[in-house]
Chain A
């Protein structure tokens, strides 16, 4: 089955700097890659996603890149702010009728003022 590895497990950045989180997946049939942000005790919220027919997607300070050949995708957050502090999860899905996600282990991001 699909296996998603996420690095780093923790990331501390200075406010205003950029943060990058990387995920690799094992199943070449995966074609949908969402990123979720989860604050403590809250629900995971979709922040950006990308499908396999696209190499990069951007939404204001957040961007995701996908390298299908290498089977990895990354989340980029620019000009980080304290409210970006949270746990970020990547996921991979084959987009089949089951629609199951395989989640990465998560990255705890701490933005210090």
Chain B
């Protein structure tokens, strides 16, 4: 149990376009989902926390208008990178928790975004 999927696994887009990444919990209901960004050979940097049905909480320094997060159901959260630029190229990973505070986080396989 506790499987998280992410789609797409990789995407290449042109500068100025928007990209949507989906994160799904396949066999459990996730009350909380997290979005991370990871640069090569670095740790996971939390971007935002989202609870189903409410607005996401963004970490300091993360632009909420650039990284739109929607947690529409207990099994789906989406991250949209708007007006992407080459500096947005990165590995984006989501995680899901059955119950924040009492359960661990289960990670998706990540999405490699390359902006040309």
Contacts and interface: CB of A to CB of B under 8 A. Distances in A.
Interface size grouping (class) on chain B: 20 to 34
Contacts of A11: none
Chain A residues touching B, majority SS:
loop
Interface in B20-64: 32, 34, 41-44, 46, 49, 57
Contacts of B32: 98-99
A105 B43 contact: yes
Contacts of A32: 104
Interface residues of A, number: 23
B108 A43 contact: yes
Given A97-B101, A99-B101, A99-B105, A44 B44 contact: yes
A43 B107 contact: yes
Interface of A: 32, 34, 36, 41-46, 49, 89, 95-101, 103-106, 108
Interface of B: 4, 32, 34, 41-44, 46, 49, 57, 93, 97, 99-110, 112
